[in-house]
Amino acid sequence: HIYLDNAATTPMAPEVIATMTDQMQNDFGNASSTHYFGQQAHRVLDESRHTLAQNIHAKKDDEIIFTSGATESNNTVIMQTAKKRQSLGKHIITTAIEHHSVMKPLEYLETQGFRVTYLPVDENGLISLDDFQEALDDETILVAIMMGNNEVGSHMPIHEIGEILKDHQAWFLTDATQAFGELEIDVQKDHIDFLSASAHKINGPKGIGILYVRDGLYLDSFIRGGEQEKKRRAGTENIPEIAGFAKAVTLLTPEKKAAERDRFAGFKRQIVDGLRANGIDFEVNGSLAPDTLGHVFNLWIKGISTYVLQMNLDLAGFAISGGSACTAGDLEPSHVLIAMYGQDSPRIKESIRISFGTYTTSDDIDQFVAALTKIVQRIQAKQQREKE
Ligand code: PLP
């Protein structure tokens, strides 16, 4: 089987597994304990926090809170900002193509009297800064705009948004879950107040993530108990996972990220050229611009349903996705493709997402192109026979 669904999750790097195994076997202490074992665990916690803080150019290590993942981080910021700042206004701005971990809490807030603006996107999956500026008003308390999209890879103008918000009361949350492994992130330069990410998208373990909280901003935690994470998230820290996350981050040097982006761009060309040479009728959903996230690729295979494509590829040994992992299980069309192309576009029912990772090879891509070609030709022949 060939795995081409790295936007859903990635296999863990052997180095990460080794680090975590070592932690579980040797440094099993509770980081809050004052004895030797506790201190050992605390040292790992501090070092890991430092690694994460440096990676996104945070000013202080304490700006990083370890969470169970980006879902928790996004929920925390949205729900707690609403609770804390509602006296300043009840308006929140987001985009039409956010992940459900942003969408769902916002939809809930709408039932509680909050006003949410969902910025539209163009065919490249990008918002317009004019629309954004127009939506921003005196009642806006939060702006939640993702850094990179998980279905089509569009890369939002985060720096420009941060600049606009610098002198506005609204706090700025960016979900960097997909961008984290590819882009150089600088929360200070981009004036980001809150940032979410998950380890399992970068060859780290599942169930661990970060929430960056700009120094000076305070949110209540919805997890109350011990005084861990400076009272911002109670519960014994999951040191093996935290250490695994930090290890995954250290493997992703700026040079490695740049090289991977080049390699992934090559994979996209290989697929486009290959399918074209084989006479397959398809279009790319979103953009092939260099600024787009390299690992996410979305294709419209004209005339064949997502479900049929996905099932046949699975039978042929290829793991791809019909959209995001969360919507792939049901047959609901992607809200991202709908926002980009409209409810009536055939694309929303005939598209697949292919996503690359550290262990994807050019040979995998060759095999994928050959398999997809065979499947499309077989189904088209059948459709033709049925017509006659
Ligand atoms: N945000 C984006 C853009 C994602 O792609 C994902 C993962 O699917 C998440 C948030 C949620 O991450 P997790 O499931 O690790 O909490």
Q: What is the CATH number of the domain that holds 363?
A: 3.90.1150.10
Among 326, 338, 371, 379, the active-site one is 326
* 196 and 57 inside one domain: yes
For residue 28, how far is its CA from the centre of ligand 1 (angstroms)? 28
* 179 and 239 inside one domain: yes
- Is 160 labeled as catalytic in the residue annotation? no
* 247 and 261 inside one domain: no
For residue 99, how far is its CA from the centre of ligand 1 (angstroms)? 7
Predicted TM-score of the model (pTM): 0.96
Q: Which atom of ligand 1 is nearest to the CA of 198?
A: 15
Residue bearing the CA closest to ligand 1, atom 10: 70
For residue 88, how far is its CA from the centre of ligand 1 (angstroms)? 29
> What residues contact residue 61 under an 8 Å CB cut-off, 6+ apart?
46, 49, 50, 53
Residue bearing the CA closest to ligand 1, atom 8: 8
**Pick from 232, 251, 270: which residue ends a domain?**
251
Q: Which atom of ligand 1 is nearest to the CA of 71?
A: 16
* 184 and 260 inside one domain: no
| Total domains, the chain | 2
* 235 and 262 inside one domain: no
**Pick from 251, 273, 306: which residue ends a domain?**
251
Q: Which atom of ligand 1 is nearest to the CA of 324?
A: 8
Task: Identify the residue whose tokens are 């996104």.
Answer: 56
Q: In what order do the strands lie in the sheet with 91-95?
A: 64-67, 209-213, 194-198, 171-175, 140-144, 91-95, 115-119
* 270 and 170 inside one domain: no
Digitized pLDDT (tens) for each residue of the chain, 388 residues in all:
999 999 999 999 999 999 999 999 998 999 999 999 999 999 999 999 999 999 999 999 999 999 999 999 999 999 999 999 999 999 999 999 999 999 999 999 999 999 999 999 999 999 999 999 999 999 999 999 999 999 999 999 999 999 999 999 999 999 999 999 999 999 999 999 999 999 999 999 999 999 999 999 999 887 889 999 988 899 999 999 999 999 999 999 999 999 999 999 999 999 999 999 999 999 999 999 999 999 999 999 999 999 999 999 999 999 999 865 445 455 688 999 999 999 999 999 999 999 999 999 999 999 999 999 999 999 999 999 998 8
Q: What is the CATH number of the domain that holds 27?
A: 3.40.640.10
Task: Identify the residue whose tokens are 């065979």.
Answer: 374
**Pick from 198, 221, 251: which residue ends a domain?**
251
Evaluate whether 141 touches 92 at the Cβ level (below 8 Å). yes
For residue 68, how far is its CA from the centre of ligand 1 (angstroms)? 11
**Cα–Cα nearest to 355, from 207, 153, 99:** 153
> What residues contact residue 22 under an 8 Å CB cut-off, 6+ apart?
none
Ligand 1 site residues, Cβ closer than 6 angstroms: 69-71, 99, 101, 146, 150, 175, 177-178, 198, 200, 209, 325
* 96 and 184 inside one domain: yes
* 356 and 232 inside one domain: no
* 246 and 272 inside one domain: no
| Sign of the torsion formed by the C-alpha atoms of 349, 322, 319 and 202 | positive
* 174 and 84 inside one domain: yes
Q: CA–CA separation, 254 vs 252, rounded Å?
A: 7
Which one of 99, 154, 155, 293 would you pick to mutate in the ligand 1 pocket, going by the greatest count of ligand atoms within 8 A of its CB?
99
* 112 and 74 inside one domain: yes
Domain that holds residue 279: 2-9+254-387
